[in-house]
Amino acid sequence: MSPTLPKIECHINVDSCEANAASLLANKSGLSKQQIKQAMTKGAVWHTRKHNTSRLRRGKKSLKVGDELHLYYNQEVLEHQIDDAELIADMGQYSLWYKPYGMLCQGSKWGDHTTINRYSETHLTPDRPAFIVHRLDRAATGLVLIGHSKSITAALAKLFELRELDKYYQVIVEGRFNSGREEVVTVDSDVDNKSACSHAKLLEYDAKQNRSLVQVKIDSGRKHQIRIHMASLGHPVVGDRLHGIASGSDINLQLTSCYLKFPCPVTGEINEFELPERLRPKL
């Protein structure tokens, strides 16, 4: 049996301004200052001042009496590694990225170094804050919009809310999709008791594998909507362990966000982005 990796949680009420955060947390937790600093970089340390709590990245940040420090150290989380994201377009006040398999759209108290927004913060030039506009499942891949100010992020999120943004996905599903039926199959069954509508059409079929490449447009954005709707048609998405049947060889979920079209919140012009062919699912 492999040894259990360290998991430490501690909280400090600052009663002196003489010591810095890294020293205080090292003394309290028994970890080294280097371990604390690495945890800070990866988003596992939090700082509270009055009613404001945020991640603390710098060990030498000035502290005030009454501040609070919070450490959520999980070595397994902090050691987790993922593939790099890829910048598709930098529009200044927002950017578009390719999110690889395993990268998250939301961090936790234990860290945020494997999130797409943190990746964009540390890889854009010039540096900018990064805010999530919409989400893709951890197992899904493809286009993700990132806002670089709260106002632009809110404006982009509103486009999703009002369905003023066109998007489609490509998935690989089990079986021959839509054999002998109309070109587009529409599914409008509820997801989690909420209305949901998906439109799917066959792009390519591989008889040897008995799998189909399918394009899906969604009118709504419910959690796992495409996966649930494809499974309901008897064509589960390859690699979907929750709603389908994933064999040992199908490591990654074959669901990719490939296309976004929306009015730019800065200029009003219509922007259209397509994922490069090399990053799309292949039969």
Q: Give pLDDT, residue 1.
A: 46
16-52 residue pLDDT tens:
888 899 999 999 999 999 999 999 999 999 999 999 9
User: Residue ranges of the chain with pLDDT lower than 50?
Assistant: 1-2
Q: Give pLDDT, residue 251.
A: 66
State the SS3 of the chain. CCCCCCEEEEEEECCCCCCCHHHHHHHHHCCCHHHHHHHHHCCCEEEEECCEEEECCCCCCCCCCCCEEEEEEEHHHHHCCCCCCEEEEECCCEEEEEECCCCECCCECCECCCEHHHHHHHHCCCCCCCEECCCCCCCCEEEEEEECCHHHHHHHHHHHHCCCCEEEEEEEEECCCCCCCCCEEEECCCECCECCCEEEEEEEEECCCCEEEEEEEECCCCCCHHHHHHHHCCCCECCCCCCCCCCCCCCCCCEEEEEEEEECCCCCCEEEEECCHHHCCCC
Q: Give pLDDT, residue 242.
A: 82
CATH topology of domain 166-258: Pseudouridine synthase (3.30.2350)
CATH topology of domain 86-162: Alpha-Beta Plaits (3.30.70)
For domain 7-79, give its CATH number from 3.30.420, 1.10.10, 3.40.50, 3.10.290: 3.10.290
Q: Where in the chain are the domains?
A: 7-79, 86-162, 166-258
Q: Give pLDDT, residue 204.
A: 94
Q: Give pLDDT, residue 18.
A: 85
Q: Give pLDDT, residue 3.
A: 59
